Amino acid sequence: MLREKQWYSCRGVIGITRDRGLQTICQEGQHLPAVVFLAGPTLMAAKEAPLGSCGPTSVSRMLPFLGAMNRLGVQLVIAKGVSDDVPETFRRIGLSYGIAVGGAGAFYGTKIKQVLSRKYESLGAEGFFLVEVQDFPFYVCVGGDVDGYFEPIP
């Protein structure tokens, strides 16, 4: 159970995508992992960052896709920002929401340990990436039961 107003660290397999990749996945009805990080990697791989810098994108543009994301298996969305309608929308749909630190793309890039698969490569940084992460921090805005391995950060 992810508790609101608490920092957590995630370890395991998550999806990374943003606008166009997410729209394509939702239109095609592709299954998604329980945790999705809405972000855009630079795709300039380095030894310590297999997708390069990977900064979170704003959640407000993704709100129209939340219902489809939930139906396709997502339980937790991690992105940047929160406006008045964000918590209410997530609660109504039944999704948890974690906030990633904006401007920390280089940091988040180093938390990606391995790229397991790529979809929609023609979309570049807006494609879909299934990755393994370790010590991936986020702040819980909307809590709930989520499959995965999470540890509270004191």
Paired residues of 115 in beta bridges: 131
- Please give the torsion angle defined by the CA atoms of residues 69, 101, 133 and 8, in that order, rounded to the nearest 10 degrees: -90
Give the Cα separation of 130 and 37 in Å (integer): 10
Query: What was the pLDDT predicted at 47?
Result: 86
H helix runs in the chain, sequence order: 19-28, 66-71, 85-93, 105-111
Give the Cα separation of 21 and 152 in Å (integer): 30
Task: Read off the tokens for 146.
Answer: 């989520």
Whole-prediction pTM:
0.96
Query: What was the pLDDT predicted at 73?
Result: 97
Which 8-state DSSP code applies to residue 101? P
Query: What was the pLDDT predicted at 65?
Result: 96
Query: What was the pLDDT predicted at 60?
Result: 94
Tell me which residue has tokens 């979170």: 56
Strand spans (E) along 69-147: 76-79, 96-99, 112-119, 128-142
In the chain (154 residues long), the average pLDDT of successive 10-residue segments reads 97 96 95 97 92 96 96 98 95 98 96 97 96 98 95 95
